Each structure stands twice: as C-alpha cells, then as structure tokens.
C-alpha cells in the first residue's frame, strides 16, 4: 500500500524465508530507553529508515512512525510487517533495513548471532495469547481444552513463528495437544482466518484481539500466562542512517512509545 509519506509492506516480501533467535536482551540500556519524539528530532532529522517489525506491531508502529515523521521533518519511515522468523531470515539473506523489532527473543538472537545488530537489543514490550472466535462465540468455547472439541476448526501460528512457539508452550503446560486445520506464518493471518469465517477459533495475541474489536470475541485462558512473549528492538549495523534508526528506537522505548503500546494492550517487559 503506497502512501504519500511512507510505504507499508505486509507479509514476507523480500528475500528468502528462514528461522528464529535471542536470549538475554538488555531491557534498560541507556541507548534505547530515553527519548521522546521531540528529543530525537535534531539527531534524526532528514533520515529515511526501513523498520522490519513483527506483524503484531503493525497498528502501534504505524502510529509511532507518524509521530516520528512529524517530530523529524524530512524523515520517512518504511515498514515491513511479517512473522518475526520471516523477517530474521530476510535480514540474514541480505535484506536492507535499519531497525528490527521481533515478537520474541529467539528471532532477535539469530540476527544478533549473525552480526547484524548494532549495540544491544532492548526489550520494550510483552504480549500473551488469547483465543478468538466469531462474534458471540457460537461454538461456546470457554477453555483451551475446548479447542480440541470434535468439529471445531482451529488455526494457530506455525511453530517457528513467535505466536506458534507460545502456543506450543501452552500445549505443554496444559497437556492439551491441538490439531489445527492450518498453521499460519503470522498472527495476523490467524486472525484473518477467524474473521473471514474460515475457522471457528484461533490463537492470537491479546493486542490483536483488541485491535479486531467486534469482529471477534476474545476468550482468555489461564494457561496463557505460561507463554509470555518478550519483544526486543535493535538498530542494525548495516544502517545508512544510524542516528535516525536510534531515534526511532528511542521513541519506541521512551515514554511516548510506551504509552502507545500500553493503549494497544501490550505490557512492559
């Protein structure tokens, strides 16, 4: 979709596809935890940057991109939203970007291990799973175990995708092994299957369910607490606009970015 001020791409668009990565990202690193949109304007003004971000961040990061451009006249932010594993694979195959925001630490670790990150990634949000159904919950699903009822069509994320990895953790914690009719490459694809009536239920993040509004009914379940995903963000070493990249990172991890994320339902790391 082409816009006058940026291009937002969804899905795995560029190079090849691959897998995932990070264990201990620093959560309070001074390089990523300070600024507001205003405080980054001098350093970032005029920088055009590309941000690779997890599909579940589309709504919040689009809003933050607008804030960044307003505060930094002449700057442009281009987003590529997809499953974190797809984005990590694209970066490993040489795709050009300035910032990477993953929906889990494992996929960030792969990018770090490939030597593609400048500095230390910063954890900026957490997210948990919920069940979504058609409006009104016509199947009467009230628990995670109900997803295994005969005749219930369930969709999940693929195991290599952060929401799929979280689903596997919930299965282990609950002792319930799901038999999904499809495994999708991003959490938004799962949501779309449910809203399109192609599935009775799906497992998505609470933020995706909230963003869908009355298109779905959300069914929380206690086992989700066993699979909280932590989101790290990092500037990339190949960036041609390192100051602008750091400026966007500072916005995400600073007070204004955290407020936007909290409004969408993300929790702090």
Number of alpha helices (DSSP H) and beta strands (DSSP E) in the chain = 9, 11
Q: Is 31 annotated as a binding residue?
A: no
Q: Is 4 annotated as a binding residue?
A: no
Torsion of CA 178, 213, 106, 173, to 10 degrees: -40
- Cα 220 to the center of its chain, rounded Å: 19
Torsion of CA 230, 90, 56, 59, to 10 degrees: 120
- The first and second tokens of residue 167, run together, are 């689903």
Please name which of 229, 192, 67, 203 lies closest in space to residue 147, comparing C-alpha atoms.
203
Q: Is 205 annotated as a binding residue?
A: yes
Q: Is 84 annotated as a binding residue?
A: yes
Give binding residues for molybdate as ranges.
Answer: 56, 84, 187, 205
Give binding residues as ranges.
Answer: 56, 84, 187, 205
């Amino acid at each position: 979709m082409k816009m006058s001020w940026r291009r937002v791409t969804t899905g795995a668009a560029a190079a090849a596809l691959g897998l995932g990565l990070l264990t201990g990202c620093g959560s309070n690193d001074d390089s990523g935890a300070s600024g507001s949109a205003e405080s980054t304007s001098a350093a970032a003004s005029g920088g055009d940057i590309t941000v690779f971000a997890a599909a579940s961040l589309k709504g919040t990061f689009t809003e933050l991109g607008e804030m960044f451009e307003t505060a930094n006249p002449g700057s442009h932010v281009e987003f590529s939203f997809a499953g974190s594993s797809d984005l990590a694979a694209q970066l490993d195959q040489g795709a050009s970007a300035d910032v990477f925001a993953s929906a889990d630490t494992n996929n960030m670790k792969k990018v770090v291990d490939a030597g593609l990150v400048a500095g230390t990634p910063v954890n900026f949000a957490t997210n948990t799973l919920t069940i979504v159904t058609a409006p009104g919950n016509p199947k009467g699903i009230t628990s995670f175990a109900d997803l295994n009822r005969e005749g219930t069509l369930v969709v999940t994320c693929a195991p290599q995708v952060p929401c799929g990895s979280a689903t596997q953790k919930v299965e282990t914690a609950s002792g319930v092994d799901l038999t999904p009719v499809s495994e999708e490459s991003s959490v938004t694809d799962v949501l779309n299957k449910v809203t399109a009536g192609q599935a009775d239920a799906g497992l998505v993040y609470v933020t995706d369910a909230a963003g869908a509004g009355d298109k779905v009914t959300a069914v929380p379940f206690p086992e989700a607490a066993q699979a909280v995903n932590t989101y790290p963000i990092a500037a990339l070493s190949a960036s041609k606009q390192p100051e602008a990249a750091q400026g966007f990172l500072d916005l995400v991890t600073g007070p204004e970015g955290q407020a936007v994320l909290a409004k969408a339902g993300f929790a702090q790391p």
